Amino acid sequence: MSTRFTMSLCFLSLETGKIFNKVIMQRLQEKGFEGLSEALIILFPYIDQAKKISSSELSRQVGYSRQAMHKNIKKLEELGYITLTLENQKEKMIAFTPKSEALMQEANGIIEAIENDLSELIGKEELEAYKNNQAKIYARLHSLL
């Protein structure tokens, strides 16, 4: 049996996501959004989707340990991307600041530009089919949890 490395669906999805995040992060830094890392950039879509989210829920969704999440939240707060508010006497809630709202707007423009580039590369229909298939794969894998 060969031990040759193969490009599995799992590996390709992981690597595509990592590269996509690196491109977004680099372009955001070029626009003046400083202090970001791959560990931090991953958090923005989750916070954006929830609007306000606890650190424990964010940690659960992202898959970070509580200690790692605490460190990342502290960094985002120091950089001015989030605020923390005590909502229920137990846990602080994370919310965006105007700086992170501007970051998300810029990131969405970057994502749109990348999608347009990919659409030119493989065709609009192929890109839409890819996105639809990725959504189906995600839903199926999520149902296995």
The domain ranges of the chain are 9-143
Query: How far apart (Å, rounded) are the C-alpha atoms in residues 88 and 46?
Result: 20
Confidence at residue 4, expressed as pLDDT on a 0 to 100 scale? 56
Query: Exposure string (b/e) for 127-140, b if CB count within 10 Å is 16 or more?
Result: beeeeeeeeeeeee
Dihedral in degrees, nearest 10, Cα atoms 108, 114, 116, 119: -130
CATH number for the segment(s) 9-143: 1.10.10.10
CA-CA-CA-CA torsion sign (73, 77, 80, 85): positive
Give the predicted TM-score (pTM) of the model: 0.82
Mean pLDDT split into 10-residue runs, the chain, 145 residues = 64 88 93 91 92 91 91 96 84 92 96 96 95 93 90
For residue 84, give the DSSP letter.
E
